[in-house]
Amino acid sequence: MHKQRIAFIGTGIMGEPMARNLLRAGHPVTVHSRTKARAQALLEEGARWADTPRDAAHACDVVITCVTDTPDVQAVLLGPGGVIEAAREGLICVDMSTISPSETRKMGETLAEQGVILLDAPVSGGQIGAIEAKLSIMMGGPAETVENVRPIMDTLGRTVTHCGPLGFGQTTKLANQVMVIHTIMSVAEGLAFAEKAGLDLETTLKVTTAGAAGSHSLKVLGPKVAAGDLKPAFMVDLQQKDLRLVLEYAEQIGQPLPGTALVKQLFAVLQAQGRGRDGTHALIDVLRQLAGRRP
């Protein structure tokens, strides 16, 4: 069976294991990142290197981007040396970053003028989900193109969902982030309350994860809080980027999100303390400080 040739641009915390899973599935993979050293392990495992996104896209069927923010995607796709310089009819770009839905649609229109189809496909599941190919992938774009790349997406994730036209994948991801940060807030507040009241956190977790309060965040992050382990499953800085996107888009569509705005301000306290690379569950330290305790 023919394996589609893939250009993978962005080999960071998420991109590297995703590209590795594609290699292991037998796809010819060409990689590009801002720093070649970040891709060295993939090169040793059989990936090819390209000096620019244009070069990566030139001999591939599908281009996948997984970079940090909207300007990064714009530079990769439309900037000097970008994918658009290798544009041709039938080339498919799949952006798996988390970026602005409205800017995604604009980039799609620009690429479409050159015959290139853009899909948005942000993911949820974090680094572990990327490593284990268990990501939830939220896709936007033409249904027939989504089906064209579904075998690739199935290599990367456990759940692949077509959410609607271009931009709807990003919009779904932003809705996901709103819900996620509220569960993190509930975990932080509940455990801060339990701790202040003198409860044993491990016992509290055992009870609450088995009841109506149970959630993925409580199950995964609660034990980390109890153990004093604030290493990131997802960094505060990256969460703040996502929440900025949420609030910008919410303003565009006229939807107030007061709770989300509050949590963003609380995360800003951690950033002001130089803790932007801590995990999002470090939010409990802000609540401890509000109660007059030293974290």
> Which residues are tagged catalytic?
173
Cβ atoms of 147 and 196 closer than 8 Å: no
Burial of 211 (0-12, 13-18, 19+ CB in 10 A): exposed
Helix (H) or strand (E) holding 174: helix 168-196
Kindly give, in sequence order, each residue whose CB lies less than 8 Å from that of residue 146, ignoring residues fewer than 6 positions away: 119, 139, 162
Query: How far apart are the C-alpha atoms of 141 and 166, rounded to whole Å?
Result: 4
Residue with tokens 């995360």, as numbered in its chain: 267
- Both tokens of 200, joined, read 């044993």
Q: Determine contact, residues 124/173, Cβ cutoff 8 Å.
A: yes
- The pair phi, psi for residue 10, each rounded to 5°, is 110, 100
DSSP E strands in 11-145: the ranges are 29-32, 48-49, 62-65, 92-95, 117-120, 123-124, 135-140
Q: What is the DSSP letter of 133?
A: T
Contact at 8 Å (CB) between 117 and 139?
no
Q: What b-and-e string marks burial along 67-90, b requiring 16 or more CB atoms within 10 Å of the CB?
A: bebbebbbebbbbebbbbbbbeee
